[in-house]
Amino acid sequence: MSSTVTPLPAQLDKLVDRFKKRTGPKQRYQQLLAYGQKLPPMLEEDKVAGNKVFGCVSQVYIAADLESGKILYRGDSDAQLVKGLVAFLIAGLNGLTPAEVLQITPDFITETGIPVSLTPSRANGFYNIFQMMQQKALMLLNK
Known catalytic residues are 56
CA–CA gap between residue 20 and residue 6 (Å, rounded): 19
C-alpha distances in Å from residue 69, one per residue of 43, 72, 117: 23, 10, 35
SS (H, E, C) the chain: CCCCCCCCCHHHHHHHHHHHCCCCHHHHHHHHHHHHHHCCCCCHHHCCHHHECCCCCCCEEEEEEEECCEEEEEEEECCHHHHHHHHHHHHHHCCCCHHHHHHCCCHHHHHHCCHHHCCHHHHHHHHHHHHHHHHHHHHHHCC
